[in-house]
Amino acid sequence: MTTDFTATKALFDLPEGVIYLDGNSLGPLPCGIQDRMATVIGKEWGQMLIRGWNQAGWMEMPRRVGDRIARLIGAEPGSVVTGDTLSIKVY
């Protein structure tokens, strides 16, 4: 198996000539994320307010992300869920 690191690096907004190996704390900024964040902050959070949980799909996001992780680890759909804190995950 070979990996095309040039193609992978192109997915991130990195300064020219930088080799960035720290991905566990503050990984490199993915290309296009600034536009997405502007939508989340301005429209979903700013305009929808608390309705964003339902209208923007925030409530279902832990399951959607969990299903994507499930494919990677060979788990059944619906068997993996993500969360930001232990309290949320236990709930």
Of residues 62 and 85, more confidence is placed in: 62
Number of domains making up the chain: 1
Predicted confidence at residue 75, as pLDDT, reads: 97
The answer to whether 80 and 66 are in contact (CB under 8 A) is yes
CA-based R_g, the chain, Å: 17
CA–CA separation, 80 vs 70, rounded Å?
Answer: 6
pLDDT at 28: 86
Range of the domain at 27: 5-90
pLDDT tens track for 10-42 = 899 889 888 888 766 778 889 999 999 999 999
Residue 2 has pLDDT above 80, yes or no: no
Q: What is the mean pLDDT of residues 61-74?
A: 95
